[in-house]
Amino acid sequence: MEFNKRDMKSILKAGAKARGILLSEFRADLQATVDEAIESPDHEVPEKLQRVFWEQTPTPEE
């Protein structure tokens, strides 16, 4: 299943609304989670992210 940019924006807005926070706060939280996963001591997690996103750090929209 693929999502376009508009779909992702709607999903992010719904997530922010569900948590009762601003969209910018939700994006920051999501980005922090992605960053933690990349730095995970469990070697499988960063390897899987690198296979999907190559050498780029994924954004919340991705």
pLDDT tens-digit profile of 25-38? 999 998 888 888 77
DSSP3 helix / strand / coil % (the chain, rounded to 5): 65, 0, 35
Is 19's pLDDT higher than 80? yes
Q: If you search the block for the tokens 């989670």, which residue do you land on?
A: 33
What size, in residues, is the chain? Answer: 62
- pTM to 2 decimals? 0.65
Question: First and final CA of the chain: distance in angstroms?
Answer: 13
Burial grade of 58 (CB within 10 A; 0-12, 13-18, 19 or more): middle
